[in-house]
Structure 1
Amino acid sequence: MASNKPNKLAFLSMPAPASYVAGLGRGASGFTTRSDIGPAREGPSAEVIAEAQAKRGEEAEIDPEQFQDPDNEYGLFAGTTYEQDDEEADKIYEQVDEAMDARRRARREAQEQLELAKHRAERPKIQQQFADLKRGLSSVTDEEWESIPEVGNLTRKKRRREERSFVVPDSVLVGDRGKNEYESSLDTRQQENGGFETPADSGALTNFVEIGQARDKILSLKLDQISGTATSSGSATSVDPKGYLTSLNSVVIKSDAEIGDIKRARMLFESLIKSNPKHSPGWIAAACLEEHAGRMVAARKLIKAGCEQCPKSEDVWLEAARLHNNEDAKVILANAVQHVGQSVKIWMAAAELEHDVKAKKRVLRKALEHIPNSVRLWKETVNLESSATDARILLARAVEVIPLSVELWLALARLETPERAKAVLNKARKAVPTSHEIWIAAGRLLEQQASVEGKSEEERNKELEVVEKTIEAGVRELRRHQVLLTREQWLKEAERCESDGSPRTCEAIVKATVSMEVEEEDRLDTWVGDVESAESRGKVGTARAVLAYALKVYPDRKSLWRRAAELEKTHGTRESLDAILSKAVHYCPQAEVLWLMAAKEKWLASDVPAAREVLERAFVANPESEQIWLAAVKLEAENGELGVARELLVRARTVADTERIWMKSAVFERQQGQLPTALETLATALKKFPRFPKLYMIQGQIQQSQKNYPAARASFSAGFKACPKEITLWILASRLEEEDGKSIKARALLEKARLVNPASDVLWAEAVGVEERSGGAAQAKAMLARGLQECPTSGLLWSMSIWAEARPTRKARSVDALKKSADNPVIICTVARLFWAERKIEKARQWFGRAVATNQDLGDSWGWWLKFERQHGTEEHREEVRNKCVVAEPHHSPMWQSIAKDVRNTGKSVREILELVADALQ
């Protein structure tokens, strides 16, 4: 009977609707498989998918790329064309966006850099954390690098070992065959109590009671030792309860890596000494390894075996002695002597083990019986002798046994009397004719005899001449025996003699050898280089000797005499300097600078008549010398002889009619307050020398001091018309206009000066000063920026730029200044002042020293340094600055010149001017 119920699965046999897409309701976009439709059929088209989605009420997906094509747009501007004006509008909007972004770009990038720096400070890179350690690796030597241990396994992970297979012998296979078998029968050795006895390997039964008793006994012994109740020898011991923990700090706890390294090294050394037992370094290294591991017994055992295997190696015996205590070491070295009796090291080590002097002597004399030709053994034996007589006897025997040892001959000569020392040195010279030390020792001996008190000057000079002859003969003999020392080696020997207190021998060596290996045209430069090199090492006697020889060869060289005078002024006495200058003016009478130096030294020594005498002789040799005339005028003026100074100036204008003498005449009258006379002198001088700018300067300054501004203005105007390249004239004219209240005219003059003198940092600095004094800070800053553009390497402008910055940015500005100005002294002084302001005292002092070392002629640097030392230094620091400034004698810098040339400071010394400059600087 057929069922009337509908079949629920009938739809499976029905065809699919036309718009059906499998899986579309679950989000799929439709797919087909090759097994269903074959390889050539494509999936449903986009139109079919869209239609199916529309029937299900789903919105069709919009392709985002369709908006890139204007033809596919829809909405408000759908269907419009993209014309040229649209493109221009888009470009304008892009430019506006870029401008808005660039407005805040600097602030945004600065903020990003700040956040990045903060992040780096909080969490620095590994590379930054180890930067100092990486730099420190540059100083690691090869020995330290080789001594770095191997890195062990620090990961705490077991490394996988490579699986290796070996052929298993048959005996192992047979033995393992019955390991897992079970016996089903009972043992016949059943005891009365019903138990079984367990047989041991040796057939004996294990007694666990005795094992427990032995364990308890060992523990009790250890406890007794710690508590101090008893020891194995029966003597009591004590443990310091306070120092016990401290002593534990000295226990070296080795890491797993170190233990692994020691085990690997031990295996290597074992292999080494087994494969090559006659190799002594292997035994030594193995013993040192055990010593490092703390196993002294094993180390001694190894080194003992090494001594047996390598009995002819002195190093093994010495190492064995080192590893044992004193008494055992003596026995070991006694055995060593039986095998290596010719080893000096063995005998010396045996002598060092003895603490008694007599025992040491006994060992050393025994050593000399075995090794009579060892210089070291003889020296050690002689050093142990407390009596000079015994030492002399030993040395006499030593030179008989070792006649070629120069060291022993010289030691014997030092112990002998002067007469016998000569004989000893003569014997030494015959025994060792190739030794220069013997000839030098002979010269020193002769010099020592000549310096004995009680001899006349004539006798002393004769004996010192013998020193020179001895050294000359020595050089000839050495050359005859083909011993050719270089001149550098001879100069080193001369310096050594000077250090040992033999200056005449030093001079003799220099005189005999300084001209060796030098071409005639290179002599002067080579000798001057030798002088500078010796002086830099502090060997003044050698430098003086080289200069003396050079002056004998070139007596008419003014530069050599001046160099010798500077050397004596720095390192010699006033008498030696006077002697050098007297010889200098004798050989070079036309050298004005030498006459002036001689007169100045006499004047500094407060010997004014002697200074006058020197200048009178200078007048005779140089009647028309401008410098000598002016020096004579200065000498008379500063010693109160104003009338004589005025007469000298009148005579000088007649005899040596120069522009500088006329200028000094006007300055002299101005200093004496005779302003009309000074103006008359200037008017006459300007007719003769209209191109000399200093005459216009002095004339304008005198008229400015009299408040005669039109006349001063006319003088300065005539001056920069006649000398347009003289910058100081332009600056004086500008300051005159400022003083007269005409800042606009001052700016115009400086502008004109900059056109005539381009790239002049002084003019730019003055222009900046004019703006600052006029109250225009913004104009001053702009002017400074323009000046730096035209003079990018000017230290003066960079210094002004640094001080114009705010305090936080001055340091960065100073770094730029140092890079641009190439270590300009003004910049260095400015950096020192910055450190001063930051209270970095030592750094500031160091930079002030650098500033004055770079250019000692800048007086303002000295003034700033003294001002700094007044605030932070001691009296010793201040006095050091004053003394160095007096030696340097600076003449330039704005503040220094303004104070030094002030009429009120006429006749003041460098020290007084320095104090005034330090007071005036702000």
Structure 2
Amino acid sequence: MGSKVANNKPNKLAFLSMPAPASYVAGLGRGASGFTTRSDIGPAREGPSAEVVAEAQARRGEEAEVDPDQFQDPDNEFGLFAGTTYEADDEEADKIYESVDVAMDSRRRTKREVAEQEALNKHRAERPKIQQQFADLKRGLSAVTDEEWENIPEVGNLTRKKRRRDERSFVVPDSIIVGDRSRNEYENALDARQQAADGFETPAESGTLTNFVELGQARDKILSLKLDQISGTSTSSGLATAIDPKGYLTSLNSVVLKSEAEIGDIKRARMLFDSLVKSNPKHAPGWIAAACLEEHAGRMVQARKVITMGCEQCPKNEDVWLEAARLHNNNDAKVILGRAVQHVGQSVKVWMAAADLESDAKSKKRVLRKALENIPNSVRLWKETVNLEESATDARILLARAVEVIPLSVELWLALARLETPDKAKTVLNTARKAIPTSHEIWIAAGRLLEQDLTTKLSGEAGANKTPAQQAKEMEVVDRTIEAGVKELRRHQVSLTREQWLKEAEKCEAEGSPRTCEAIVKATVAMELEEEEDRLDTWVGDVESAESRGMVGTARAVLAYALKVYPDKKHLWRRAADLEKAHGTRESLDDILSRAVHHCPQAEVLWLMAAKEKWLAGDVPAARSVLEQSFVANPESEQIWLAAVKLEAENGELAVARELLIRARTVADTERIWMKSAVFERQQGQLSAALETLSMALSKFPKFAKLYMIQGQIHQKQNSLTAARASFAAGFKACPKEVTLWILASRLEEADGKSIKARSLLEKARLVNPANELLWAESVGVEERSGAGSAQAKAMLARGLQECPNSGILWSMAIWAEPRAARKGRSMDALKKSADNPVIICTVARLFWAERKLDKARRWFERAVETERDLGESWAWWLKFEKQHGGSEQVEEVKKRCMQADPRHSRVWQEISKDDKNVGKTTEQILELVAEKLG
């Protein structure tokens, strides 16, 4: 029974003969991983082909699926328009759609690129590069000094290997410690034996101790005495010294410390130059460069040896000898140059260098005369020798010998002529002219000599009895000399251009020979000008260029010649008068104007200038005489009649002025004369006569707007507002384009308390005269003065700027309407819109003034008046500024420049200058009044 049980026991190894599970992997518990090979899954097989699939579908009765786009041409339409013809419209439509697609793609591309750039910037901000993280530290390295660089410790061991350390220690003996401690000690006392040996008593014997402080003071005293002896000064004050500590430190700075790189460069250059001089020893520049290299390296001894070898190898080269003299001291240089003249005795440079080495004039003369024996044809040596002579007689003798040896040197002939007396100088110049017939300098020198001689004679007693005409006639010899010289030079085929002759004329003027300058201009200014049309323009250009360079005499001479050729040109006479007014005398100006009115009697402006100059000079009778002569030549001239009236009125002859106006209305009968007649009566307080004159004038000239203005102002002054209103209404009905009439009518209504009526008039005026800055500015002023509030004024100002974007007046009002903090930005906008507007420039200057930036304010005020000199308010603001922040000289300068500019326009200036109370006041007085009124 027991054996049976044993035989039925299950076999534990039966799994080895069983197939493995599908997911079994051998050694999975030990970390193995399973893999599959082709043998595990069998050989690969291809799927059925397209033909087999089609046959199977045909047997089953299925139809093959056809792709509708399989055979479609992509360039042709399909679907609804498949049967239509592809025409030009279709092509255009395709191009439009394509352009739209491209535009949409570009828009998306821009947005995409912006987004990508933002993402990239964000990424770089969050994760910057290492070089960006250390950029500030790298920039900070520029401030590290040499001392800090040297103190940077050396890099230690970076291998991270542990080195074996010697852990053993030793005990230092006491003798070494004591010896090191006493090594740097100093004994400050003497023992008894040393004191006895040196003659000192011991402390026990004398009872005293040695005082080392007094010994130190005595040593310092001796050192101070020695320093004073060296410096050559006394020590009485204790402050005097000739030692220059700054110079001593500067000499220490001259010590050049060369780096290793520079030393390496010097070594390589030395090798190159050494090879050069060995391969080509006769090449002088190589020796000079090699010596300069040694000098740069600080090896002066070697440099001198090298240049000495160069002198031996290249004895015929003057540069080598000069370099050798430079590298040696003074005494050795003299020896070197003495040897040099044996080899290069014809070198002027060597002789000049030898003369420069001498310290006294006598030795220099000896060297130079020795040089002239070897090189007698050197102009430079002769000039240097003559310059060393202190006596004019000796210099004259030398120059006489020089021109014999070098007869073709113009400089020597001219120098000799300057040293001779006038009579002998003429002989010298004649001889020089024969020797050098192609030199224009000799002819010019001859002219200057004649001018100088004649000037001396005419300034003495002999010339005092001669009239200016006689003196001018005697001076004509200079003209003849220069003219003969020009002809002679042409005969010898020497042709200087007009520009060259004019430069010579300016040179003569600069050297104090105005008559020779004028003679040169007369003889040559018409050269090369064959075209009649170009002459006048060319001469005017010559005058402008000469005047711009400050050569007034040359400009005057060119103008005189042009007036001689074209005496009937009014603008030439005006130009000559302006030139004399700016740079000449009153007598010369009177002469020019008298000649001008003689040649151009119909030129009214010349008569007026002549009369005004007489009047300004205080000669009223002469001014009347000039105007009487002008009446004969111009009986119907409005300007001359008015000038005569002004002259009589401002000199108190009111009856004569009234009579002249009556005669002028009969003879000339112009609208301006009638207007001046009415203004004259109003200024004299004869309002009824003025109104009567205006009525007669309006019947003759109904389209003259100023007559309506004056009539309305007179009625307003008489408190006849209805009559004034009627006058202004008739005025802007007859002259709707006259802006001032509308403004006066508006101010009349505003003065009467009818702001609404004033607004209505200005609105009508803006419709008739669109884009007019004065009307818009007046409209803004009405809003500000009517109390409607700043908002209404700002709105009106904004509308005005929209219609007149470049208006300086409106932009100025806009700047001042802003709060203080916003004015600077507003001024920048104004400058961008109209940078050259003088009103805006003046406003910017006032802003700088308010900010206490005085220098900038002064520059901008000057810029404003230079941009437009006719605006009186700019001058008044500048004067007000200088009175507050400038000196008296600056105030006077502003007044002087304003009187020269003579401004006539701007609103406040015209109100004050045309006021009846200010009749007859000067420009300076009007300027003061305007500056006071400006807020």
The two structures have a TM-score, normalised by structure 1, of: 0.75
Query: For residues 125 and 450 of structure 1, what CA distance do their matches in structure 2 show?
Result: 84
Which of these residues, 810, 834, 845, is aligned with residue 821 of structure 1?
Answer: 834
State the Cα distance separating 1:16 from its structure 2 match. 6.4
Q: How does 1:433-444 map to 2 (within 5 A)?
A: 433-444=437-448
Cα distance in 1 for partners of 2:752, 2:865 equals: 37
Displacement after TM superposition at 1:740 (Å): 1.6
Q: How does 1:53-202 map to 2 (within 5 A)?
A: none
Tell me the distance in 2 between the aligned counterparts of 1:255 and 1:318: 31
Q: Which residue of 2 aligns with 1:805?
A: 818
Structure 1 residue 920, shift from structure 2 partner: 1.2
Is the CA contact 1:450–1:460 (under 8 Å) kept in the aligned structure 2? no
The alpha-carbon deviation at position 35 of structure 1 amounts to 5.7
Q: Give the deviation of 1:713 after TM superposition.
A: 1.5
Q: How does 1:269-418 map to 2 (within 5 A)?
A: 269-418=273-422
Partner of residue 563 from structure 2, selected from 551, 555, 567 = 551
Q: 1:454 aligns with which of 450, 456, 461?
A: 461
Change (3 A) 1:793 1:302: farther
| TM-score w.r.t. length of structure 2 | 0.74
Q: State yes or no: 1:905 paired with 2:918.
A: yes
The 3 A distance-change label for structure 1 pair 471 and 247 is closer
Counterpart position of 1:104: none
> 1:590 is paired with a residue of what secondary structure?
coil
Residue 896 of structure 1 pairs with residue 909 of structure 2? yes
Change (3 A) 1:622 1:324: same
Contact 1:451 1:460 in 2 (8 A): no
CA–CA distance in 1 between the matches of 2:769 and 2:811?
20
2-side partners of 1:567 and 1:441: how far apart?
Answer: 28
SS of 2:256's partner is coil
The equivalent position to 1:688 in structure 2, one of 672, 694, 700, is: 700
Larger CA deviation: 525-534 vs 247-256: 247-256
CA distance in 2, matches of 1:40, 1:535: 112
Residue identity in the other structure for 1:520: E
* Other-structure match for 2:550: 538
Distance 1:299 1:651, change over 3 A: same
Matched, 1:586 2:593: no
Residue 608 (structure 1) shift:
0.8
CA distance in 1 between partners of 2:886 and 2:648 (Å): 39
Moved more, 684-693 or 329-338: 329-338
For 1:562 and 1:125, locate their aligned partners in 2 and report how far apart those are by CA, in whole Å: 74
User: 1:777 matched to which residue of 2?
Assistant: 790
How far apart are 1:851 and its partner, in Å?
1.4
Q: Cα 1:710–1:473, aligned 2, differ >3 Å: closer, same or farther? A: same
| Mapped contact 1:447–1:463 kept (Cα < 8 A) | no
Q: CA deviation at 1:263?
A: 3.6
For 1:245 and 1:608, locate their aligned partners in 2 and report how far apart those are by CA, in whole Å.
76
Distance 1:711 1:320, change over 3 A: same
How far did residue 762 of structure 1 move?
1.7
Return the alpha-carbon distance in structure 2 between the equivalents of residues 713 and 890 of structure 1.
31
- Once residues 352 and 4 of structure 1 are traced to their aligned partners in structure 2, the CA distance between those partners, rounded to angstroms, is 135
Instruction: Give the AA of the match of 2:810.
Output: L
Looking at structure 1, the residues matched to 747 and 483 of structure 2 have their Cα atoms a distance apart, in angstroms, of: 70
The corresponding residue for 1:214 is: none
For residue 455 of structure 1, give the secondary structure of its aligned residue in structure 2.
helix
Distance 1:744 1:384, change over 3 A: same
1:836 aligns with 2:849: yes
Give the superposition deviation at 1:356.
Answer: 1.1
Alignment correspondent of 2:777 = 765
1:614 aligns with 2:626: yes
The offset of 1:302, in angstroms, is 2.1
**How many Å separate the matches in 2 of 1:600 and 1:921?**
31
Which 10-residue stretch deviates more, 615-624 or 248-257?
248-257
> What is the aligned partner in structure 2 of residue 233 from structure 1?
none
1:595 to 589, 603, 607: 607
1:709 is aligned with what amino acid? L
Written as runs of structure 1 = structure 2, the 5 A alignment for 1:427-506 is: 427-452=431-456, 453-456=460-463, 457=466, 460-506=471-517
Give, in whole Å, the separation in 1 of the partners of 2:38 and 2:771: 92
Q: Out of 702, 716, 719, which is 2:731 matched to?
A: 719
My pick for the range that moved more, 336-345 or 282-291, is: 282-291
Q: CA 1:815/1:41 → structure 2, altered by over 3 Å: closer, same or farther?
A: farther
Separation in structure 2 between the aligned mates of residue 274 and residue 532 of structure 1, nearest angstrom? 64
CA contact (8 A) 1:891 1:897 kept: yes
Q: CA deviation at 1:655?
A: 1.0
Match of 2:191 in 1: none
Deviations, residues 333-360 of structure 1 (Å, cap 9, x unaligned):
1121122111111111110110111110
Code of the aligned partner of 2:791: A
| Residue 796 (1) aligns with residue 809 (2) | yes
What's the counterpart of residue 225 of structure 2?
none
1:701 aligns with 2:708: no
Distance 1:663 1:425 in 2: 70
CA deviation vs aligned residue, 1:102-154 (integer Å, no higher than 9, x gap): xxxxxxx9xx9xxx9xxxxxx99999x99xxxxxxxxxxxxxxxxxxxxxxx9
Determine the C-alpha separation between the residues in 2 that align with 1:405 and 1:595.
55
Aligned-pair CA distance for 1:33: 6.0
Deviation at 1:836, TM superposition (A): 1.9
SS in 2 for 1:515: coil
In the other structure, the counterpart of 1:742 is 754
Deviations 1:145-164 (A, max 9, x none): xxxxxxxxx9x9xxxxxxxx
Residues 712, 260 of structure 1: alpha-carbon distance in 2 compared, 3 angstrom cutoff: farther
User: How far is the alpha carbon of 1:732 from its aligned partner?
Assistant: 1.3
Which ranges of structure 1 fall in alignment gaps of 5 or more residues?
43-108, 117-122, 131-153, 157-226, 230-235
Deviation of residue 774 (structure 1)?
A: 2.8
Provide the rounded CA distance (Å) in 2 between the counterparts of 1:427 and 1:326.
Answer: 44
Provide the secondary structure at the position in 1 that maps to 2:917.
helix
- Distance 1:802-1:266 versus aligned 2 partners, 3 A rule: farther
Structure 1 window deviating more from structure 2 (359-368 vs 778-787): it is 778-787
C-alpha separation between the residues in 2 aligned to 1:277 and 1:414? Answer: 50
The one-letter code sitting in structure 2 at the alignment partner of 1:806 is: P
Relative distance call for 1:643 and 1:125 in structure 2 (3 A) is farther
Cα deviation for residue 901 of structure 1 reads 0.7
Matches within 5 A, 1:863-874: 863-874=876-887
Contact 1:802 1:814 in 2 (8 A): yes
Question: How far 1:750 moved relative to its partner?
Answer: 1.6
Deviation at 1:241, TM superposition (A): 13
Deviation readout 1:747-771 (Å, 9 max, x if unpaired)? 2222221211122122222222222
**CA spacing shift, 1:242–1:331, aligned 2, 3 Å:** closer
Alignment of 1:625-636 (within 5 A): 625-636=637-648
Question: In the TM superposition, what is the alpha-carbon distance from 1:247 to its structure 2 partner?
Answer: 5.3
Q: Cα–Cα, structure 1 residues 600 and 288, in superposed 2: closer, same or farther, change >3 Å?
A: same
- Aligned equivalents of 1:450 and 1:627: distance in 2? 46
Per the TM alignment, residue 580 of structure 1 is displaced from its structure 2 partner at its CA by 0.6
- How far has the Cα of 1:798 moved from its partner? 2.2
1:906 is aligned with what amino acid? Answer: V
Q: Which residue of 1 aligns with 2:745?
A: 733
The Cα shift of 1:402 comes to: 0.6
Q: 1:837–1:287: structure 2 CA closer, same or farther, 3 Å change rule?
A: farther
**What amino acid maps onto 1:779 in structure 2?**
Q
The total of aligned residue pairs comes to 734
Instruction: Kindly state the Cα deviation for residue 800 of structure 1 after the two structures are TM-superposed.
Output: 2.2
Number of the residue aligned with 1:875: 888
CA distance 1:696–1:311, change in 2 (3 Å): same
- Does 678-687 or 840-849 show the bigger shift? 840-849
Structure 1 stretch 876-885 or stretch 253-262: which is displaced more? 253-262
Note the alpha carbon deviations across 1:206-262, whole angstroms, 9 max, x for none.
xxxxxxxxxxxxxxxxxxxxx9x9xxxxxx999999787775444333344443443
Q: Distance in 1 between matches of 2:860 and 2:676?
A: 38
2 CA distance for matches of 1:849 and 1:272?
A: 66
Do the aligned residues in 2 keep the contact of 1:685 with 1:695 (CA within 8 Å)? yes
